[in-house]
Amino acid sequence: MNNEKDCPCQCDGKTTIAAAVTPPVESPGRRRLLAWGTVILGGVAASAAGVPILGFLLAPLANKANSWIAAGKISDFEVGKTHKVEFVNPLADANDGETAKTIMYVRRNEGDTFNIFAVNCTHLGCPVSWFANAGLFMCPCHGGVYYEDGSVAAGPPPRELFQYPHKIENETLMVEVGHLPTLQQPA
Amino acid sequence: MSIIKSIIGWIDNRMQLSDSVVSVARHPIPAEVAQKKGWWYVFGSVTMTFFMLQVVTGICLAMVYEPTADAAYSSLQTLNYQTPFGWLIRAIHYYAATGMVVMIVVHMTQVFLMGAYKYPREVTWFFGVGLLGLTLALAFSGQVLRFDSSSYWGVGVLASAAGRAPAVGPEVVHTVLGGQYIGESTVGRFFAVHVFILPALLVTLLAGHLYMVIKRGISEPPKPEQPVDPATYDEQYEELLKKGVPFFPHAIYRDGIACAIAVIVVVALAVIFGPKGPDAFPDPTIIGADPRPDWYFLPMFALAALCPPSLEFAFIIVAPVIAIGVLLAVPFLSGSGERSASRRPVAVMFVTVTYIVFAVLGWYGATSPWSPQMDAWSGDPVPVEMVKHSSPLELQGAVTFQLQACRNCHALDGVGGKRGPDLTYVGSRKNRPELIRQVVQGGGYMPAYGQQLSAAEIDALVAFLAARRPAGEPEAKLPVAPPIKGDSIKGRAP
């Protein structure tokens, strides 16, 4: 900054050049302050805009708790049979349309115990179908097959069918549902 | 005339176009590229043309498409049946996407086989690998936006696969889905990714790719016995360019012809075959769904079915990472040396094997013989010829065979599932004890039916199966077991 060429100001190059070029005595500190001030100001601006954006994008990571829903009266379920039950996901809202609906399989065993199976194959999440005569759940994607108790009968599934927690209140079967069951976060 | 000239002169003076755009357009390229061999150099341009077509048709679609789980399906129907030309724009968008995937792979193959990625064009190749990844990501996210039953379950498959990521599975799943389940925010996320994020990234990488093409030049057609030596290559290339020709107009007209033909083919396909889908309504309670990805992901789909469970993590999570790593490593592994394919047998073999593997896996994915045919038990009757002259017990067995959904996995006369063997002639392959054992215990991908069937049903079923033989052929015999010391029991015919 000490030759004429680099002079940033619109000076005539003679009278004011000394003033423009010769830095004021206190300048190094002032400059550093300004430089850091700019960086800090930029950081504040970036976080002011960035925090809400990141928050928005990462909000889905916050776990919404599953909810209990009624699957039906106990008397609706015949002993020894597996029933396909439609339900509306309690986490869903109006814009979800038809996708708010899901199904589960309710099996009532002897002695009034229940197994509530998620529809999703444990291999890669495709919907299993129940074949009552054969007593098998079959998956249409990669050939996974499960027995009526949910254990793996054939194909690639790494574990038995996901089961939703359930309880019986006032003769009603309550089931805890919500998130999509996957291997590390089963139903 | 002079007015026009002065206008052009003014614009050029202010924008300095002769220094930038014009000089770039007329940058010298190896003379050979402007001759017949130049046809090898058009694939990149065709890919880029398809991308531009995607941008324009995509913008049109975005004017009508509604990215919500509730309304996406009906807006696709509106596009198909109400919006003027909506069906055609959807169809062009689909076939141009197909074309983009095909051409980027063809382009990459050509670059690989002609050794164009070698010194000094490694970075051009890196940008290209990124463009391949983005193209595939666009293809998948686009498929999700065609929000029908297949798409709904396709997202489920993606989420389940992503859910296997070590330690952070659920977090990844929720980020992909935009929540805890497939719904409104899933479609919204995929829309934002497909329409804003991926195209913006693609344009950025494309700019880098083109910058490299201009800056480091297009590779000259390879000749055997002329290996790339980083020490001397730049000098040789400069010499070559001295005898070169300007890109515009000597080489670009080949690109122009190829791109024009490509666009015409895509529009023709779109007119003839129409838009793809949407198929069934995305209602998760309709589980008769038969989710299949679009053709470019069929090899992955097949891999997920065919690889042994113990290797699934490796195939689903690790393999894609390795594949990208291998592509990025290519210029480091063979960044110099021979460029001609006739001197690079390993490279040729690599390409051949890759193509065969993908073709075979893709074929398996398309036919998916491992999937039970879900409606065969009720949809495909036992052939009448087969049950003529059958005993009542055998007839009962045929009924059991259908009711137990055996047909979903086993074909009779070629009709039915392909998961298990065709049972048309099983009676001449397996004897009765073997049939009973297989039915009761299962095994080899077959469920055990012992719990499910009564002894009488098994009896009938086995009678039906044992009678499945070519005319005049006897039942399979029980193999005679080697005599065991001190045991006088011999094989008995059933």
Q: For chain A, what are the domain ranges? A: 4-59, 67-177
Look at residue B323 in the predicted model and tell me its pLDDT: 92
Q: What is the pLDDT of residues B257-292, one digit of tens each?
A: 999 999 999 999 999 999 998 988 888 888 777 788
Q: Is B291 on the interface with A (CB under 8 A)?
A: yes
Look at residue B286 in the predicted model and tell me its pLDDT: 83
CB B155 within 8 A of CB B182: yes
Work out the burial of residue A20: count CB atoms within 10 Å of its CB; fewer than 13 is exposed, 13-18 middle, 19 or more buried.
Answer: middle
Q: Is the dihedral of CA B179, B182, B183, B188 positive or negative?
A: positive
pLDDT of B453 strictly over 70: yes
| DSSP code, position B344 | -
Q: What is the pLDDT of residues A146-161, one digit of tens each?
A: 999 999 988 889 899 9
Q: Are strands A145-147 and A136-138 parallel, antiparallel or unpaired?
A: antiparallel
CATH class of A67-177: mainly beta
Strands (E), B16-127: 28-29
Residue B369: pLDDT band (50, 70, 90) is: confident
Residue B221: pLDDT band (50, 70, 90) is: very high
CB A163 within 8 A of CB A179: no
Query: Alpha-carbon distance B107 to B216, whole Å?
Result: 18
Amino acid of residue B470:
P
B261 with B398, same domain: the answer is: no
CATH of the domain at B441: 1.10.760.10
Of B284, B404, B445, the CB nearest to A103: B284
CB B442 within 8 A of CB A153: yes
pLDDT of B444 strictly over 80: no
Question: Does residue B363 lie within any of the structural domains?
Answer: yes
Q: Do B377 and A184 touch (CB under 8 A)?
A: no
B107 with B55, same domain: the answer is: yes
Across the range A126-144, mean pLDDT stands at: 88
Residue of A nearest to B406 (CA): A134
3-state secondary structure of A127: strand
CB B220 within 8 A of CB B30: yes
Measured in angstroms, the CA of A53 and the nearest CA of chain B are apart by: 14
pLDDT of B204 strictly over 90: yes
Residue of A nearest to B291 (CA): A141
Residue B112 has which token pair?
Answer: 């690989």
B106 with B188, same domain: the answer is: yes
Look at residue B481 in the predicted model and tell me its pLDDT: 62
B349 with B417, same domain: the answer is: no
Range of the domain at B412: 376-466
Q: Is B183 on the interface with A (CB under 8 A)?
A: yes
pLDDT of A45 strictly over 80: yes
Torsion angle defined by CA atoms of residues A129, B363, A154 and B415, in that order, rounded to the nearest 10 degrees: 70
Across the range B186-200, mean pLDDT stands at: 95
CB B258 within 8 A of CB B42: yes
The contacts of residue A30 (CB under 8 Å, 6+ apart) are A24
B360 with B428, same domain: the answer is: no
Of A63, A136, A180, the CB nearest to B447: A136
Q: Which residue matches tokens 């309880």?
A: A167
3-state secondary structure of A101: strand
Question: Does residue B7 lie within any of the structural domains?
Answer: no
Work out the burial of residue B332: count CB atoms within 10 Å of its CB; fewer than 13 is exposed, 13-18 middle, 19 or more buried.
Answer: exposed
- Helical H segments across B274-344, by residue range: 298-306, 312-313, 319-333
Question: Does residue B476 lie within any of the structural domains?
Answer: no
Q: Which of B67, B43, B58 is nearest to B96 (CA)?
A: B58
Question: Does residue B196 lie within any of the structural domains?
Answer: yes
Across the range B446-456, mean pLDDT stands at: 87
CB contacts under 8 A, B 135-154 vs A, are 152-153
C-alpha angle A102-A107-A109 in degrees, rounded to nearest 5: 165
B156 with B83, same domain: the answer is: yes
CB B81 within 8 A of CB B87: yes
B337 with B387, same domain: the answer is: no
**Residue-averaged pLDDT of chain A:** 84
CB contacts under 8 A, B 192-231 vs A, are none
Query: Alpha-carbon distance A118 to A187, whole Å?
Result: 7
Beta bridge partners of A118: A104
Amino acid of residue B489:
I
Of A64, A134, A140, the CB nearest to B290: A140
B100 with B216, same domain: the answer is: yes
Provide the percentage of residues in chain B whose pLDDT is more than 70.
97
Q: Is B174 on the interface with A (CB under 8 A)?
A: yes
Strand ordering across the sheet containing A114-118:
A82-88, A101-108, A114-118
Q: Which of B280, B238, B283 is nearest to A102 (CA)?
A: B283
- Residue ending a domain, among B367, B399, B420, is B367
Q: Is B453 on the interface with A (CB under 8 A)?
A: no
Residue B10 has which token pair?
Answer: 């003014």
Farthest-apart Cα atoms in chain A, separation: 105
DSSP string, A33-94: HHHHHHHHHHHHHHHHHHHHHHHHHHGGGSPPPPEEEEEEEGGGS-TT-EEEEEEE-TT--G
Question: Taking the model in full, what pTM does it have?
Answer: 0.85
Candidate from A89-98, B111-120, B187-196 with smallest mean pLDDT: A89-98
Q: Which of B373, B368, B371, B468 is nearest to B423 (CA)?
A: B468
Look at residue A142 in the predicted model and tell me its pLDDT: 85
Of B68, B403, B408, the CB nearest to A138: B408
Beta carbons within 10 angstroms of residue B109's beta carbon: 14
Farthest-apart Cα atoms in chain B, separation: 117
- Chain A to chain B, count of Cβ pairs less than 8 Å apart? 192
Provide the percentage of residues in chain B whose pLDDT is more than 90.
58
Distances (CA, A) of B353 to B74, B112, B128, B347: 43, 14, 21, 10
CB contacts under 8 A, B 310-339 vs A, are 312
**Is cis: bond before A127, omega within 30 of 0?**
no
Beta carbons within 10 angstroms of residue B477's beta carbon: 10
- Residue ending a domain, among B367, B387, B404, is B367
Query: Alpha-carbon distance A106 to A115, whole Å?
Result: 6
- Residue ending a domain, among B308, B335, B367, is B367
Residue B485: pLDDT band (50, 70, 90) is: low
B175 with B286, same domain: the answer is: yes
A interface test, pick of B189, B285, B310 with most A CB neighbours within 10 Å: B285
The contacts of residue B417 (CB under 8 Å, 6+ apart) are B371, B372, B373, B376, B407, B408, B409, B410, B411
Question: Does residue B333 lie within any of the structural domains?
Answer: yes
Across the range A8-18, mean pLDDT stands at: 51
Work out the burial of residue A5: count CB atoms within 10 Å of its CB; fewer than 13 is exposed, 13-18 middle, 19 or more buried.
Answer: exposed
Question: Does residue B192 lie within any of the structural domains?
Answer: yes
Question: Does residue B9 lie within any of the structural domains?
Answer: no
Query: Alpha-carbon distance B344 to B224, whole Å?
Result: 10
pLDDT of A1 strictly over 50: no
Look at residue A30 in the predicted model and tell me its pLDDT: 87
CB B178 within 8 A of CB B186: yes
B327 with B387, same domain: the answer is: no
B349 with B394, same domain: the answer is: no
Question: Does residue B494 lie within any of the structural domains?
Answer: no
CB contacts under 8 A, B 40-79 vs A, are 68-71
A interface test, pick of B73, B184, B404 with most A CB neighbours within 10 Å: B184
Torsion angle defined by CA atoms of residues B65, B70, B76 and B78, in that order, rounded to the nearest 10 degrees: -90
Residue A3: pLDDT band (50, 70, 90) is: very low
Residue of B nearest to A135 (CA): B452
All residues of chain A having their beta carbon less than 8 Å from the beta carbon of residue B419 are 143
B443 with B363, same domain: the answer is: no
What are the φ and ψ backbone dihedral angles of A31, each rounded to 5 degrees? Answer: -65, -45
pLDDT of A17 strictly over 60: no
Beta carbons within 10 angstroms of residue B53's beta carbon: 22
C-alpha angle A108-A111-A117 in degrees, rounded to nearest 5: 25
Query: Alpha-carbon distance B196 to B188, whole Å?
Result: 12
CATH of the domain at B187: 1.20.810.10
Residue B453 has which token pair?
Answer: 């069937």
